[in-house]
Amino acid sequence: MARRPLPRILSNGSAQIARSRELARTAADSATDVLHPLITVSRGLRRLAGAGLRKWADTPKDRRGPLLFLVASVILVMTLVPYGPLLAAISLMAAAAWTGRDRTPPAPTGPDEAQTGRLQSLYEALVPYFSAAEDPDPLYAHGGDWEKVFSSYDFDDDGRVSRLLIRYPAYFTDGEAESRARIEQLLHAKSGRGREYHFDWDEESNELTITVLPPLPTDIAAQRFVTAPGETVLGFTDPADVQRTLPLTYGEEQRDVPPVVWRTGIRSTEPHLLVVGEPGSGTTTLMRSIALQTLQYGDVVIVEGGGTGEYACLTGRAGVLAVECGLAGALASLEWAAHETERRLIAANRARQAGHPAPDDIKNPLWILLDRPSALGHLTAADGRKDPQALLQVPLRHGRAAGVTVVVAEHFDSLDVLSEAVRQHTRARVVLGPASSAQLEAVLGVPPHTTPTRDVPPGRGYARLGTGPVLRLQVPATPDPYDDATSEAQRRAVLELLPEHTTPADAGALPLKAAVAES
């Protein structure tokens, strides 16, 4: 059956509309140019009339009679004088044209003296790095012209550089990390400390764009995120780095914020997560946030090596198989998790060989959250027991196929204690709190394209999922609701996300211990 062609009004209607709009815009611009003198005179007459009315209103009533008589006398004299009305009309039009002129001050066409000094200082500081003695026509030279290399620039309200496009010579070794790090450190120091800068190297065009990044929002509280099963929101980042936003609630207001989403499951390339930070940087907050999100569709085993009771609010909740702080309970829980991973693998393999779908008892995801394994390692070494990290080898190696996810949180000073299995299989990485570029590169694998600041709020850091880019990260506020320092709004936000109680708080780990005893 032959297809009919679309009607002309549908096939080329959009082009006609665009052409009509362009013609209308051109006609409006032409009319504005032609009628510009008339518009100026009309605006001046309106301003003169307004000034006369204000003068009349400000004149006392006892002086209005003489003023009116004076005006009438002037009009009468101008009428009797030869060519008086014509001269009066010309004078009025001239006054109206002068009064109605555009008084908007012209926009500055370039930087002021202070801004020019800053740009010249940056130029002089870059001369030793972007110049060579054998260059016959150097872009950078002492006392040279900064306008040749700074083709675009913006300043903030304080007069500091907020955006700068820098040209550099082609022979600069921009492919070496050390050379780029020296330039970034220099620009960070000269442009103003205390701010976070993003560096975009365009190696093909020999251009470097430096941009001041706005601070990430720190007022995002824990809440239900619009995600699919297997997706976990680690935090929020810059809009230009991700192609997705989530609708979030800020009290009575709603905003769309770009998230950092970590995907787990059988098809995930980053099935396990490592979180690193200093004390007070927000690592435990991130672990609580992950636990609250995964309890919507999975089971959670929490092992706290620090023994501070940060996860007491999850004890005895639906889906929480155990919250262990002691050494014996932690080892029992991790041993059970290893056996459960093996059981799931065997059940899934038998189902595939028989041509049946996976059993229902292995479809529910299992999450193992291990906070501060180094503290448990010291206790087990002193007691002559097995290192708890050795019990994570099976969940780490085969967790993706068995639906088991492992999240490990550790401090910077104990990174050397982490086992090889943890380092190798935790391909998703998060670093929170203040950290140097060397520390960030050691954990994330590559340095970030921004300059980390010294003072950061809790939950602020960087994330890298597998071989992806390094993203800025701000963890949603998920404090301990039983802590006295927690605000009432944040306490209510966390309590509303907690599942209902299924067992008394002092018996929350009994079902898992019984399962370990049976196994």
Report the binding-site residues for ATP. Answer: 277-284
Q: For the chain, how are helix, strand and coil distributed in percent, rounded to 5?
A: 45, 20, 35
Contact 231, 296 (CB under 8 A): no
Q: How far apart are CA 430 and CA 457, in angstroms?
A: 15
* Distance between CA atoms of residues 348 and 402, nearest Å: 8
Report the distance separating Cα 341 and Cα 333, nearest Å.
Answer: 12
| Phi, psi (deg, nearest 5) at residue 53 | -65, -40
CA dist 75 and 67 (Å) reads 13
What is the rounded CA–CA span in Å between residue 458 and residue 448? 19
Residue positions counted in the chain: 519
Phi/psi of residue 460, each to 5°? Answer: -100, 135
Residue 36 backbone zone (phi > 0: left; psi -120 to 50: alpha; other: beta): alpha
Assess contact for 187 and 197: CB atoms under 8 A: yes
Q: What is the DSSP letter of 2?
A: P
**How far is residue 466's CA from residue 426's CA, in Å, rounded to a whole number?**
9
Residue numbers belonging to the annotated binding site: 277-284
In the numeric block, which tokens belong to residue 267?
A: 């098809």
Question: What is the dihedral angle through the alpha carbons of 155, 159, 160, 166, rounded to the nearest 10 degrees?
Answer: 40
Q: Is 50 helix (H, G, I), strand (E, B) or coil?
A: helix
Which single residue is written with the structure tokens 């913006």? 154
Q: Reduce the DSSP state of residue 246 to 3 states and report it.
A: strand
Cα–Cα distance between 307 and 327 in angstroms, integer?
Answer: 10
Rounded distance between C-alpha atoms, residue 94 and residue 98, angstroms: 6
Rg (CA), the chain: 35
Nearest alpha carbon to residue 287 among 302, 306, 297, 269: 302
HEC states along 120-156?
HHHHHHHCCCCCCCCCCCCCCCCCCCHHHCEEEEEEC
Reading the block at residue 172, the tokens are 């600069």
The residue type at 347: A
